[in-house]
């Protein structure tokens, strides 16, 4: 886990809304991404606890959690303009971040995003 660049974590909130968090391992940062603009700090704390548990199990001893930064959803995170595109936004957050791309999409791109997701599924691989 600690040799990875990042860990992408899709999060389902009460079977109503999809968000995500990304653990940027090298930067020691856990950041929340929500197309509605919220931040579930409990989820970020839970991911930090996961890292502490992994550290203890794999490396022994205690991980210095003070070195890690928890970052809420930023104001420039793309926002959905309806009540049903959260899953698409979550997929696109994860896709763009995994390719080190800035989050430069918005609601007007959602149809293209859906097509990209469908093509990835049909080809059984991520689209470059």
What residues are labeled active site? 17, 34, 86
H helix runs in the chain, sequence order: 41-58, 86-98, 110-123
Pick from 14, 42, 20, 23: nearest CA to 32:
20
Cα–Cα distance between 114 and 118 in angstroms, integer?
A: 6
Coil, strand or helix: which one is 70?
strand
Scanning the structure block, which residue is given the tokens 């918005």?
Answer: 106
Structure tokens belonging to residue 99:
């390719």
């Amino acid at each position: 886990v600690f040799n990875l660049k990042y860990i992408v974590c899709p999060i389902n909130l009460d079977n109503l809304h999809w968000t995500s968090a990304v653990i940027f391992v090298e930067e020691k940062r856990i950041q929340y991404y929500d197309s509605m603009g919220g931040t579930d700090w409990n989820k970020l704390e839970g991911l930090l606890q996961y890292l502490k548990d992994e550290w203890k199990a794999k490396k022994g001893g205690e991980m210095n959690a003070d070195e890690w930064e928890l970052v809420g959803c930023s104001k420039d995170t793309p926002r959905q303009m309806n009540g049903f595109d959260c899953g698409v936004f979550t997929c696109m957050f994860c896709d763009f971040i995994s390719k080190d791309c800035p989050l430069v999409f918005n609601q007007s791109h959602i149809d293209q995003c859906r097509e990209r997701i469908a093509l990835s599924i049909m080809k059984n691989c991520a689209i470059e």
